């Protein structure tokens, strides 16, 4: 067992945190996102919330995740990689990285995933679409100067070398091809990562990013 470094939950005991979450069958996933409890959170500490079926639902502030666990509405699937625990007056809770709801919640499908650098790199596996070297930038397949759009269908991850060579040329002019036509990723899993440049590695097995 690794050494477990205790951290403290501050002045208020865990049980004093208001809980507004619902694990009933109606709108639970949305309720889980209506979090107003972010103010006291360490800014980057989020916890991946899985449905009862292990489908990812959202990323929660740590405090709200701990409340779900303490109230018995969720269980810890993966604890913090460093083995952190939280103490209150009456209980000790493992700091979670991934938690799973005890009850299934139905979540409506949400539409198109916003294009971001982090999400695009994830879609393309951080590999250059032209040469498979490690990607460092984003390339517009049809250059923007030639009317190309800033869209999932016209953007690919790209290494610096290919990006310089490509410049304002089209693939036809260079004789280059793409092995896969770029397209928007589908599924709500992507929303969890679209704004996050360094997601917790413990989350990744639950996020189907290959789609």
Count of residues near Zn ion by CB under 5 A: 6
Residues 62 to 81: which contact Zn ion by CB under 5 A? none
Question: Least CB distance from residue 116 to Zn ion, whole Å?
Answer: 21
Tell me the C-alpha distance between 101 and 23, whole Å. Answer: 7
CB of 188 to Zn ion, least distance (A): 31
37 binds Zn ion, rule: CB under 5 A: no
- Select 55 or 124, whichever has its Cβ closest to Zn ion: 124
DSSP helix, strand, coil percent of the chain (3-state; round to 5): 25, 20, 55
Min separation Cβ 166 and Zn ion, Å? 9
14 torsion bin: left (phi>0), alpha (psi -120 to 50), beta (else): alpha
Using the minimum distance from each CB to Zn ion, give the nearer residue, 130 or 203.
130
CB of 7 to Zn ion, least distance (A): 43
Binding mask 120-149 for Zn ion (x = CB under 5 A): --------x-xx-x----------------
**CA pair distance 8, 92, nearest whole angstrom:** 10
CB 21 within 8 A of CB 28: yes
Residue 186 CA, chain-centre distance (Å), reads 14
Q: How far is the CB of 156 from Zn ion (least distance, A)?
A: 10
- Closer to Zn ion by Cβ: residue 45 or 127: 127
User: In whole angstroms, what is the distance from residue 130 CA to residue 133 CA?
Assistant: 8
| CA 55/CA 122 separation, integer angstroms | 19
Mark 148-187 with x for binding to Zn ion (rule: CB under 5 A) and - for no binding.
Answer: -----------x--x-------------------------
Element (H, E) at 201: none
- Residues near Zn ion, by CB under 5 A: 128, 130-131, 133, 159, 162
């Amino acid at each position: 067992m690794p050494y477990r470094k205790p951290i403290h939950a501050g002045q208020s005991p865990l049980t004093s945190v208001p809980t507004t979450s619902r694990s009933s069958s109606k709108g639970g996933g949305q309720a889980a996102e209506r979090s107003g409890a972010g103010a006291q959170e360490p800014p980057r500490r989020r916890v991946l919330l899985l449905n009862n079926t292990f489908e990812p639902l959202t990323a929660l502030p740590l405090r709200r995740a701990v409340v779900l666990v303490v109230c018995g509405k969720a269980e810890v699937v993966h604890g913090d990689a460093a083995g952190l625990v939280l103490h209150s007056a009456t209980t000790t809770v493992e700091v979670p990285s991934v938690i799973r709801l005890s009850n299934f919640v139905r979540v409506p499908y949400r539409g198109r995933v916003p294009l971001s650098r982090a999400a695009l790199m994830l879609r393309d596996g951080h590999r250059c679409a032209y040469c498979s070297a490690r990607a460092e930038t984003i390339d517009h397949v049809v250059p923007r100067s030639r009317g190309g759009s800033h869209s999932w269908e016209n953007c690919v991850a790209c290494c610096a070398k290919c990006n310089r060579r490509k410049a304002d040329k089209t693939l036809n002019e260079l004789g280059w091809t793409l092995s896969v036509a770029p397209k928007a990723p589908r599924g709500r899993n992507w929303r969890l990562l679209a704004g996050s440049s360094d997601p917790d590695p413990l989350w990744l097995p639950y996020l189907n990013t290959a789609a």
